Amino acid sequence: MIQTLQAKDITIAEIQAYFGLQQTAEPNFFPEWQENLPTITEVEQQILNRVKSNYFNLVNSGSGSEEAVKMVVLSFLLDLAGFYQSPFSIKTEISIEIQAEDEGVIVRGKIDVLVIKQQFWVLVIECKSTKFDVMEALPQALVYMLNSPNTEKPIFGFLVNGREFVFVKVIQGKIPKYSRSYALSIERENELEQVLSVLKNIGQIMINQKI
How much is the pTM?
A: 0.86
User: For the segment 160-183, what is each residue's pLDDT rounded down to a tens digit?
Assistant: 887 899 999 999 888 999 999 999
The answer to whether residue 2 sits within a structural domain is no
* pLDDT, average across residues 69-76: 84
> Can you give the residue range of the structural domain that contains 192?
20-208
The answer to whether residue 109 sits within a structural domain is yes
What is the total count of domains within the chain? 1
Distance (Å, whole) CA 39 – CA 197: 7
CB distance 154 to 206 below 8 Å = no
Identify the band that residue 152 occupies on the pLDDT scale cut at 50, 70 and 90.
confident
